[in-house]
Amino acid sequence: MELELLLDREPWEKALQLLRAWSAMPLLDPCLQTDRRLIRRLYQASRLGLSTMTALVAASSDPLQLGSRLQVPLHQQRLLEALIELRCWIDAERLPQPWKKWNALEWTSRLERERWPVEAVALAVTDNYLCRRPLLRWWGCWRHVTSPVSAHELIAQGTPPGPELGEALCRRREQELRKMR
């Protein structure tokens, strides 16, 4: 609980620097002692509206074990599980790097198909992945894209309510995403 208070209220950057100087970070996880990007990762998480505690745990070599040991709330533990799944998916897709050719629609379709929490994608942004930029674009922009035509307008144009209406809205959203980079 003290660590969470430190990360939420104190000048946590200075505190983490002191913990490193005293070689105390290995008490949490040895990886955290040597992670040169840790401070930057926590700043990025904070800017994205994420808990710095969750970002710290996510930076460890075994986030689930550390999260359990620190008794982070269940919501954060589930978020860490989703992050690990997302990291595995990124690593699997990375080998031939087909995602380099993906557009906004492809990224959106693939990320939304897996139904990862938005926060898990934001945490993955703080990782140093080559695909960091499209993940950030999805988080900040692409996921918010909607059909330019409302359901009421489609009904007024003759589309019957029900599954057809939903499909028409999805097609319009996909058209908007195809236009984006």
Residue 124 has what pLDDT? 93
For residue 175, give every residue at least 6 positions away whose Cβ sits within 8 Å of its Cβ, in sequence order, or none.
Answer: none
Query: By the 8 A CB rule, do 48 and 122 touch?
Result: yes
CA 172 to chain centroid, in Å, comes to 26
pLDDT band at residue 96 under the 50/70/90 scheme: low
pLDDT value of position 62: 95
pLDDT recorded at residue 181: 79
This prediction has a pTM of 0.85
Whole-number mean pLDDT of the chain?
90
Q: How confident is the model at residue 95 (pLDDT cuts 50, 70, 90)?
A: low
Q: What is the pLDDT of residue 94?
A: 66
Helices (H), 95-162: 104-114, 118-126, 132-140, 151-156
Inform me whether the pLDDT recorded for 99 exceeds 70.
Answer: yes
In the predicted model, what is the mean pLDDT of residues 40-66? 93
Please state the rounded mean pLDDT for residues 74-89: 94
- How confident is the model over 119-135, as pLDDT tens digits? 999 999 998 778 889 99
Query: Does residue 1 carry a pLDDT above 90?
Result: no
- Interval 91-100 mean pLDDT: 70
